[in-house]
Amino acid sequence: MNQSNMTIPAREIIDDILPKLASLQSFVDHTLSNSIRQQESAEQRRQEESLKSELQMELTIIRMNIDHLVKRHKTILSQLGVSRRVCGPSAKLDQAEATAIERLMQLHQRIRTLYAEA
């Protein structure tokens, strides 16, 4: 993402942003929920429940802003099709969308780091 004028290649939205959002949502809905159910320690269960609540709230805000981005740029995104060779135009981001994408990347890296050690 180009921070100076807040644009992002349309292909990056399709190939990177949306899959990361789906991956984090799946992690919260399935992996983390299963882990909470399997915890024998009440303290560990509380920590993971707290993490789940935090992630759910964060993902709701991120999803709202990314949905807004996708709706605003529906035309250019739909023109990309499935061809991996087409980079496509860049999409302009508003401040909330740029923040949502930045936060998504941070959360994705945080979860990868936390659960890579497990």
pLDDT in tens, 5-21: 699 999 899 999 999 99
Does the pLDDT value for residue 38 go beyond 90?
A: yes
Question: Which is more confidently placed, 48 or 3?
Answer: 48
Domain 7-116 matching CATH 1.20.1260: the answer reads no
Which residue carries 């993971």 as its tokens?
Answer: 48
- Distance, CA of 42 to CA of 107 (rounded, Å): 25
CA distances from 17 to 1, 13, 43, 62, 86 (A): 11, 5, 33, 11, 17
Residue ranges of the domains in the chain?
Answer: 7-116
CA distances from 117 to 16, 49, 61, 111, 112 (A): 24, 19, 27, 10, 9
The confidence band for 72, taking pLDDT boundaries of 50, 70 and 90, is very high
